Amino acid sequence: MLGSDLDAVVRGNVERVREQVAAACEAARRSVGDVTLVGVSKYVGPPETAALVRAGCTVLGESRPQLLWSKAEAPEVFGLPIQWRMIGHLQRNKVDRTVSVAAAIDSVDSLRLLKAVNDAAAAAGKTMAVLLEVNESGDAEKHGFAADDLPAMLGELGAYRNVQVEGLMTMAAREGDRDTARHNFAALRELRDRVATPNLPLRELSMGMSGDFHEAILEGSTMVRIGSALWEGVL
């Protein structure tokens, strides 16, 4: 696809998704400014990623660290005003380089990973923004803290001085409809409300993807991770 055609298609997709986000916010009686659109770029290469940024979507999520590293350094992308967020499972041996590239890691799913991120951030002389991934659906194939384990785990955060825990992340059950997804999202919001404190408000709730972000916004999502809906007509 030629550059001008690519830009037009991606811009139209971004506008349509933003309209849908705005409609969900209106239904939830929330401000559209309360919800961040995270464009998931794992499906495409650097030219398409650059087109997404030109369309005004500058918060981007990658689920594979190697793709994040290579894409951030690609000539078409390097230097663009992108906030990269790591949204997929991250192995500890890939933490150092990811910390050097990403603005946030949204998929911290264990204390061992949290410690590795903290240590890498300390070595880099920075504080790393993170979200804690919660396996709210209980799917055996999904990563994340068990909801019942989260309160005790939060009591250990004082040992990690180079991470800033901004909130929680979850995915809806793999098997289930929109009602199931909404139930999962409501459960994460209720969990956050139970465990948050003035010193750890956990303001961010990253939940909702292309097929269920309306339900997520109704249940309080502050970040929706949208991939396939942004690439219609491109892939």
Mean pLDDT, residues 163-169 taken together? 98
Provide the H-helix boundaries in 29-177.
46-54, 65-73, 95-101, 111-124, 150-154
Q: Is the pLDDT of residue 140 over 80?
A: no
H or E, element range at 194: helix 178-195
Number of Cβ within a 10 Å radius of residue 46: 18
Torsion region of 205: left, alpha or beta (phi above 0 gives left; psi -120 to 50 gives alpha): beta
Angstrom distance (rounded) from CA 49 to CA 7: 10
Residues in the chain, overall count: 235
Percent of the chain clearing pLDDT 90 (strictly above):
88
Q: Which residues contact 89 (CB under 8 A, 6 or more apart)?
A: 63, 107, 109, 143
In this predicted structure, the answer to whether residue 139 has a pLDDT above a threshold of 80 is no
Q: Which residues are CB-contacts of 58 (< 8 A; sequence separation ≥ 6)? A: 80, 81, 82, 83
CA pseudo-torsion sign 27, 61, 89, 235: positive
DSSP state of 61: E
Domains and CATH numbers, the chain: 3-230 (3.20.20.10)
Q: Around Cβ 111, how many Cβ atoms within 10 Å?
A: 15
Q: Cβ(187)–Cβ(147) under 8 Å? A: yes
pTM: predicted TM-score of the whole model, two decimal places: 0.94
- Average pLDDT of the chain to the nearest whole number: 94
221-235 average pLDDT score = 95
- Pairwise CA distance, residues 22 & 221, whole Å: 13
As a whole number, mean pLDDT of residues 11-25 equals: 98
- Tell me the CA distances in angstroms from 80 to 56, 75, 84, one per residue in order: 11, 10, 11
Both tokens assigned to 5: 């055609």
